[in-house]
Structure 1
Amino acid sequence: MALWEKVQQCLHGDTVRQLQSVYGVHFPIDVRHTFAEWIEAQPWFTLEEDNSEHERIAGKLVEQLVLMIENRANELNSEDMFINKLRLQEIGQQFREMYSPNPFNLVRVVRNCLGAEERQVQQAEMAGGDSEQACTHRQIYQQFDMLQRRTQQTDLELKQLQQKQEAFIIRYQESLKLENILQELGHQPNGPIPLMEREQALLRQKQSLEMEIQTTAKELLQMKLTLAKKYSETCQQLNVLQSHILDEQLISWKRQQQLAGNGAPFEGSLETLQQWCESLAELIWQNRIQIKRIEMLCSRIPINTGAGPDNLLTQLNTTITSLLSSLVTSTFIIEKQPPQVLKKDSKFGATVRLMVGGKLNVHMNPPTVKASIISEEQARSLLRSERDVRKESSGDILNNVGTMEYNQANGQLAVSFRNMTLKKIKRAEKKGNETVTEEKFSILFQSQFTVGGGELDFQVWTLSLPAVVTVHGNQECNALATILWDNAFAESGRIPFQVPDRVPWPQLAQALNTKFASNCGIGLDAQHLSYLASKIFGPHDDYSTHMVSWAHFNREPLHMRNFTFWEYFYSVFKLTKDWLHGPWKERLIHGFVSKKEAQDNLLKKPIGTFLLRFSDSELGGITIAWVDNDPNRPGEKQVWNLAPFTDKDFKIRSLGDRIKDLPHLVNLYPDIPKQDAFGKFWSQQTDTPVVGTGYIRPQLVSVIPGISAPLNYDNPLTPSMMQPQSPPSPVSQPAANIGDSINDINIDNDIDSSWLQNLSGMDYDPSDIQQMGINRVMPSFNAQSMPGNNFPSPN
């Protein structure tokens, strides 16, 4: 549902009036209503003000909106619409004058309006929702309402206390005046009776006034004690609410941000959290001011019986200031993390935000933020406050200082680093068999600023997620293993950057599935994960209680292989992401299935049935297995496996086109015609092979040496299956036992044996020798078989 539709459905009464106050002459709400669909379709939140290309896009948005307003005005021709027409014309002219010189002004205004709508709708939905999250949010808003009413009430009582104390001071001064008069009369000689009566009257008045002063003093003391206790309760409630927001909600957001590094879904929005933190800052600051005011009132009239409010107020001042300090330091966060695999001499970026900066007016004197890289040991020392690590670093970063900027439209105080470059890195001594791709660093962001006119000074810092520094592209695979393990299994409050050495397989399986799904369009099913588990543990019925160590994950090679489990998984993941995204997402690739299981399944199917699985022996390879007649055993079937296709093969010709080239591949397992399955992934062929220069364009196709099956271009799905001419001896054996060595294969003289030479240079498993080297791509052209064979002679 569109946002504007939600606004109209969810908001009523006061919430509508609050939203209307956001709109004004800068962006009338009737413009929002008239062009709602277009407004929500534009990339307002992705435009960056310091990007010249984005500035050009913003200018186009202004021009489009003005034109739409003017066109809409011209459509209103009836007398009833005359006033609306004039208003739209006025708005169009106003927009052109206000926003054409600086189009980002419109971007900021629209962002602010849309953000306000999102927050209002979110609150309305949570208020009416029954989910656990909605209930939690509703409770938080209720606590804020209660604390705001409480703060308003204590402010009113404080004013009453101040008035009563001012009246007390006046009465006290009157008492002093009477005391002075009586003293003067006492020094005079005995006079007439009227003078003595006046002295008696003044004395009675003084006694009455003193009794009133004593009563008022007790009342003032009681009011101060009552207020002090109320402030104490308010501080406790603020502490509970702040702990919940910072230690649960914000930590949860940071955890989601870390899991997003492995591909987990992540909303990424900080708007609700910022709203809560700003409300906390406002409440804490208001109560801090009130506590300081009552402290001042107590100092003016130091009425204290030993159990007075003075000591309590001193403690409260310390408590409320500590709450503010904790809030400020905790809300200095990394909104956009730097990459967790940092390549030396490559540019990278990050965004840091102070979520309470706007409320505390920090932007009035914008602070600078500095970034530096520190080691794991330095990060530990920093958290333990063992030494001032903020002056240390483990490398040099260029363009590492930026000034925080305040965005008036959304109230955000942030700084974006876009051109940082790691120029130098200092590595620690290796620990045991640890490699450089297991060494973790972190980017330290730090700043300093004052609040309250210089009254409070804050030194804030925050650490990025762990990062691995590489110097070459071939280190990326193992670096990503370190990052995936850390992101998946890091615990809250850990010592940097400790992770468990062993984890349950179901947890690792979930992390692998998340990584695969986020990059390849769709995740792994239970059969895929069971196959992956068998690569580590061997065949078992249940892997739910098995534990996987880091060594099994990415240190020790798999059984009878020279690569680790992660290297195998990463190579498949990268191949799928780069070249097989479409077929994988359509579930056309079986992928993680053993050769034996593939053979067993195919032997039950008709001739020409095929499936695709990832190679066990070659990293980043995918092979095609298909069932055909056994040339040496009439009436029996044989499963053939093609040599794996890899990244270099798909750079030349796609998987879909390679499948199209091979007429003996008829149905994708179990029974899907290959055109129905892969037709959408075939390249479009031109009707004429002659180009403008008079030359004939050749066509690249895949062929299988040893099988005489010419391509039928008119109907590529019709196989022309001939008896395989090579290898005659091994194919007469069962599919799983074809040949013990490459010398067992006999090749006829009329067959090109280059595929065999290429195969001999491969890192292969002897059990895979039956895989035939068909992924040789060559130009093929037959003038007699092509349409329009009367070609002009080239000049």
Structure 2
Amino acid sequence: MALWERAQQLPPDSAHLQQIRNIYGDDFPIEVRHYLAQFIEEKFWWNPVRLPDTAENNQYIANLINQLIQEIENKAEDLSDARECFLTKLKLAETAKMFRQRYSSNPVQLFSLIRHCLSAEMKYLQAADPDFLPMPPSLFVCNLMHSLEELRGRTRTTAEDTRKLEQEQEAFALQYCECTKVNAHLQQLKNQGSLNAQDQQTLQYINRKDLLEQDLNRRVAALMELRIKITEQLRQNYQLLSQVQSQVIDDELIRWKRNQQLSGNGVLFNSSLDKIQEWCEEIAELIWLNRQQIKEVERLKQKLALDPPGVVDVLPTILSEITQLLSSLVTSTFIIEKQPPQVMKTNTRFTATVRLLVGGKLNVHMSPPQVKVSIISESQANMLLKSDKLLKAGDSSGEILNNTVTMEYQQTTRQLSVSFRNMLLKKIKRAEKKGTESVMDEKFSLFFQSQFSVGDGELMFQVWTLSLPVVVIVHGNQEPHAWATVTWDNAFSEPGRCLFQVPDKVPWAKMKETLSQKFKHATGRRLTEENLRFLADKAFRGNYNESANSMLSWAQFCKEPLSERNFTFWEWFFAIMKLTREHLRGPWVDGAIMGFVKKKQAEEMLAHCSAGTFLLRFSDSELGGITIAWVSDSQEVFSLQPFTAKDFSVRSLADRIGDLTHLITLYPDTAKEVFFQKYYTPYQDQPTQPNGYIKPVLVTQVLGLAPNYNTTPHHTMYMSPDPTRDTPSVANSYASSITTTAAEPTENSAFGPMDCLDGLDDSSYAGIDLNDIIYK
């Protein structure tokens, strides 16, 4: 992270921020530090130049200071004339003037001052955050900044040469006019028969004519040479602009889009487009300036035709190429900044944001365009790429409400964007299914389109972009399979693919990274290698070979049911992930849930542990279930019937573990309170309801195992006052079901939740109607 970027993240009332503000004053205003932060850090902080007094270093520093002053002046000119920018504009202009007057004769002094300020800033930032380590610009950024700097210099040189060409042509025109007058006078004398080569005046005219013609020939040669030079400069500028634009658009922006897609699977993603916009805006400005220079040179050439017959004028070709470069830049920077949901349910509101990165620089916001959204099928998306034409009315595959909005320009951020906040997919047209395809395999895309003009209508642009693939569902039970389609596409789609093709098989090495990242995004913790080996064994139906480069097919992933089950691998994994995200996140992140372990393996692990040792594992037989396996007093290992989200909506996992007092130690040797006590629900006194009833409290127990409330820390308010009450003996075979009992405490006694069953033995349960209180 850059220095100034980190400084801006400090709290406004931070003492360290105040110290940083105090660094800057009249000699080096904070406004300059803010508006030229990147330039200052790259040139004055990361720059390897030191201060030995050598002619080479001094000249470099002098050029650097001059460049800094020019940057300040350019920034002052770029700032809007809006009221809030007016004072800053004046401040920057005054600072540039002051720097020239004060430091032109001693640039090293200003160089040292800036380095001192940055060093002090670094000291205060590290005092505020000892772990802060500023990162130098990447090699790509350094090379890009160097290329842009070179292009700025080349563009200025070409502009100066173009002005010189115009001046030389004007001088030539004047000389030519003078020569024409002399020739006309001599011709007049000849026509009058008074041309006498011996006459002094005539001789002067003849000499004057010869000198003018010689000078004209020299000027013509100079003009031709200058034209060739400028044309070559413009050609080289175009080539360099093309290279730089390719680096930004084809590399950085494509990488940003790919990262945005991977973020749909939980990969961390820096969504900021500001740096890319800054680069694109500078490229757009340089393209526009070079394009105007080409047109100006063409105008000057038409004004004075000097090219000999047969010479091909390459300027029209360069003009066409650089115009196409601008068109490519504009269309490529029409970006979906915030993607619509990739699993989209009909008649459900959704949002999206689109941004034109060069809109502010090209003044598109002066006449803000409208953006329209349609939904199209996979085949329509491919046809669109082939024809590169905007959709016609009625070509969409569905109906979207609130699908047309005008773009807005934010003066402070210089962003031209539009946010669709209330879109709703009213209906969808589906294609015919083939084979085993389902509606959750079908992919659509949102198609954003707009058009606008640039340069007072000189250029008209039609821009469009496609969203990431979306799957449309009409019912919640379609969600798991829809997310399988989206997850596979996000993870394994390849650049330049035919939309929306994906491989039928992928290496498990890639799949396990996708599953781990997705699980972490949903639950807060990645999967371990042991977890992933368990998943591999399940996905490959027990045929996973770790040493081989195993390929997992789409059918194995989400089409074919697991062995002896009626659900697929993905359905099982998705249900576990959903359960963990919604009900088990805290214990999972803490490492209290082993989760991915087979029943037999769990039994083997617990077999040699002391009584009361337990572990938590995800159920193999029930979707979205988690079970508790524990060691009994007789050293047998039992498992409770799995809990599901429905159970946890009534009582949390931690509270259930707290209720079950025979669970003492979390495998291998940690008291359960260490992990779960902080998640216990604290008891709150329940007042009498308006209807006269007292709200019951639900407590979990295993039939045949009476709870010992004296050992349950968070149930102290419910301890039975009778210390002599016998605890029923534990049967050799534990019931695998859970009962949750409801008790109504009286006003004058601490009434235990199971006190209502005192005096009943196991055989007595059959005579009690517990339909309302037993849910497992």
Aligned equivalents of 1:174 and 1:139: distance in 2? 52
Q: What is the CA-CA distance between 1:519 and the residue it aligns to?
A: 1.3
1:298-352 CA distance string (max 9 Å, x none): 11111113575x6211111011101100000000010011111111111111111
What does residue 772 of structure 1 align with?
Answer: 736
Aligned equivalents of 1:721 and 1:141: distance in 2? 78
Q: What is the CA-CA distance between 1:527 and the residue it aligns to?
A: 0.6
What does residue 183 of structure 1 align with?
Answer: 187
What does residue 497 of structure 1 align with?
Answer: 500
- Secondary structure of 1:659's aligned partner: helix
Q: What is the CA-CA distance between 1:542 and the residue it aligns to?
A: 1.3
Q: What is the CA-CA distance between 1:604 and the residue it aligns to?
A: 1.7
Q: What is the CA-CA distance between 1:724 and the residue it aligns to?
A: 3.0
1:765-795 CA distance string (max 9 Å, x none): xxxxx87011x32203576995399xxxxxx
Work out whether residues 335 and 352 of structure 1, in 8 Å CA contact, stay in contact via their aligned partners in 2. Answer: yes
Q: What is the CA-CA distance between 1:389 and the residue it aligns to?
A: 3.9
1:494-533 CA distance string (max 9 Å, x none): 1100011100011111111111101111111111111011
Work out whether residues 533 and 543 of structure 1, in 8 Å CA contact, stay in contact via their aligned partners in 2. Answer: no
The answer as to 2:190 corresponding to 1:226 is no
Aligned equivalents of 1:279 and 1:191: distance in 2? 64
1:396-443 CA distance string (max 9 Å, x none): 111110111111111111111111111111111112211000100000
Q: What is the CA-CA distance between 1:466 and the residue it aligns to?
A: 0.3
Aligned equivalents of 1:700 and 1:106: distance in 2? 61
Residue pairs, 1:113-192, within 5 angstroms:
134-190=138-194
What does residue 428 of structure 2 align with?
Answer: 425
Q: Classify 1:106/1:226 alpha carbon distance in 2 versus 1 (closer, same or farther; 3 Å).
A: closer
Work out whether residues 523 and 589 of structure 2, in 8 Å CA contact, stay in contact via their aligned partners in 1. Answer: yes
1:132-175 CA distance string (max 9 Å, x none): 97121111111111110111111111111111111001000111
Aligned equivalents of 1:296 and 1:621: distance in 2? 77
Give 2:515's match in structure 1, choosing from 499, 512, 515: 512
Aligned equivalents of 1:154 and 1:480: distance in 2? 55
- Secondary structure of 1:500's aligned partner: coil
- Secondary structure of 1:670's aligned partner: coil
Moved more, 687-696 or 485-494: 687-696
Residue pairs, 1:219-258, within 5 angstroms:
219-258=222-261
The answer as to 2:449 corresponding to 1:446 is yes
- Secondary structure of 1:576's aligned partner: helix
Work out whether residues 369 and 407 of structure 2, in 8 Å CA contact, stay in contact via their aligned partners in 1. Answer: yes
What does residue 548 of structure 1 align with?
Answer: 552
The residue type paired with residue 450 of structure 1 is S
Aligned equivalents of 1:417 and 1:567: distance in 2? 32
Aligned equivalents of 2:417 and 2:188: distance in 1? 70
Aligned equivalents of 1:193 and 1:540: distance in 2? 109
What does residue 730 of structure 2 align with?
Answer: 724
What does residue 264 of structure 2 align with?
Answer: 261
Q: Classify 1:315/1:521 alpha carbon distance in 2 versus 1 (closer, same or farther; 3 Å).
A: same
The residue type paired with residue 598 of structure 2 is S
What does residue 49 of structure 2 align with?
Answer: none
Q: Classify 1:586/1:715 alpha carbon distance in 2 versus 1 (closer, same or farther; 3 Å).
A: closer
Residue pairs, 1:640-659, within 5 angstroms:
640-659=638-657
Q: Classify 1:536/1:396 alpha carbon distance in 2 versus 1 (closer, same or farther; 3 Å).
A: same
What does residue 685 of structure 1 align with?
Answer: 683
Give 1:406's match in structure 2, choosing from 395, 404, 409: 409
1:176-199 CA distance string (max 9 Å, x none): 1111111111122448898x3322
What does residue 352 of structure 2 align with?
Answer: 350
Q: What is the CA-CA distance between 1:657 and the residue it aligns to?
A: 0.6
What does residue 274 of structure 1 align with?
Answer: 277
Work out whether residues 409 and 417 of structure 2, in 8 Å CA contact, stay in contact via their aligned partners in 1. Answer: yes
Residue pairs, 1:449-464, within 5 angstroms:
449-464=452-467
What does residue 30 of structure 1 align with?
Answer: none
What does residue 330 of structure 1 align with?
Answer: 332
1:567-608 CA distance string (max 9 Å, x none): 000000000011111111111101111111111111121100
- Secondary structure of 1:559's aligned partner: coil
Aligned equivalents of 1:440 and 1:358: distance in 2? 34
1:255-305 CA distance string (max 9 Å, x none): 010011111101100000000000000100011111111111111111113
Q: What is the CA-CA distance between 1:203 and the residue it aligns to?
A: 1.6
- Secondary structure of 1:772's aligned partner: coil
Q: Classify 1:329/1:678 alpha carbon distance in 2 versus 1 (closer, same or farther; 3 Å).
A: same
The residue type paired with residue 616 of structure 1 is D
Work out whether residues 334 and 353 of structure 1, in 8 Å CA contact, stay in contact via their aligned partners in 2. Answer: yes
What does residue 317 of structure 1 align with?
Answer: 319
The residue type paired with residue 669 of structure 1 is Y
Work out whether residues 508 and 552 of structure 2, in 8 Å CA contact, stay in contact via their aligned partners in 1. Answer: yes
The residue type paired with residue 780 of structure 1 is A
1:707-743 CA distance string (max 9 Å, x none): 3445436657999975433xx6xx4xxxxxxxxxxxx
What does residue 419 of structure 2 align with?
Answer: 416
Give 2:218's match in structure 1, choosing from 215, 225, 238: 215
Residue pairs, 1:46-125, within 5 angstroms:
none
What does residue 18 of structure 1 align with?
Answer: 32
Aligned equivalents of 2:326 and 2:413: distance in 1? 22
What does residue 397 of structure 1 align with?
Answer: 400
Give 1:639's match in structure 2, choosing from 637, 640, 653: 637
Q: What is the CA-CA distance between 1:686 and the residue it aligns to?
A: 3.2
Work out whether residues 508 and 549 of structure 2, in 8 Å CA contact, stay in contact via their aligned partners in 1. Answer: yes
- Secondary structure of 2:710's aligned partner: coil
1:647-669 CA distance string (max 9 Å, x none): 11011111111011111000111
Work out whether residues 364 and 452 of structure 2, in 8 Å CA contact, stay in contact via their aligned partners in 1. Answer: yes
Q: What is the CA-CA distance between 1:675 and the residue it aligns to?
A: 1.4
Q: Classify 1:682/1:247 alpha carbon distance in 2 versus 1 (closer, same or farther; 3 Å).
A: same
- Secondary structure of 1:581's aligned partner: helix
Aligned equivalents of 2:610 and 2:715: distance in 1? 15
Work out whether residues 615 and 630 of structure 2, in 8 Å CA contact, stay in contact via their aligned partners in 1. Answer: yes
Aligned equivalents of 1:516 and 1:106: distance in 2? 47
Q: What is the CA-CA distance between 1:685 and the residue it aligns to?
A: 1.0
Aligned equivalents of 2:529 and 2:372: distance in 1? 47
The residue type paired with residue 484 of structure 1 is T
Work out whether residues 704 and 735 of structure 2, in 8 Å CA contact, stay in contact via their aligned partners in 1. Answer: no
Q: Classify 1:771/1:337 alpha carbon distance in 2 versus 1 (closer, same or farther; 3 Å).
A: farther
What is the TM-score of this pair, normalised by structure 2?
Answer: 0.78
What is the TM-score of this pair, normalised by structure 1?
Answer: 0.76
Work out whether residues 556 and 564 of structure 1, in 8 Å CA contact, stay in contact via their aligned partners in 2. Answer: yes
Residue pairs, 1:569-580, within 5 angstroms:
569-580=573-584
Aligned equivalents of 2:409 and 2:166: distance in 1? 38
Q: Classify 1:613/1:192 alpha carbon distance in 2 versus 1 (closer, same or farther; 3 Å).
A: closer
Unaligned runs of 5+ in 2: 1-5, 11-15, 38-82, 89-116, 123-131, 720-725, 753-776
Residue pairs, 1:542-691, within 5 angstroms:
542=546, 545-630=549-634, 637-686=635-684
Work out whether residues 686 and 694 of structure 2, in 8 Å CA contact, stay in contact via their aligned partners in 1. Answer: no
Give 1:366's match in structure 2, choosing from 350, 365, 368: 368
- Secondary structure of 1:187's aligned partner: helix
The residue type paired with residue 590 of structure 2 is E
The residue type paired with residue 255 of structure 2 is S
Aligned equivalents of 2:666 and 2:133: distance in 1? 46
Give 1:787's match in structure 2, choosing from 727, 730, 750: 750
- Secondary structure of 1:431's aligned partner: coil
Q: What is the CA-CA distance between 1:703 and the residue it aligns to?
A: 1.3
Aligned equivalents of 2:751 and 2:487: distance in 1? 56
Q: Classify 1:547/1:22 alpha carbon distance in 2 versus 1 (closer, same or farther; 3 Å).
A: closer
- Secondary structure of 1:712's aligned partner: helix
Work out whether residues 702 and 735 of structure 2, in 8 Å CA contact, stay in contact via their aligned partners in 1. Answer: no
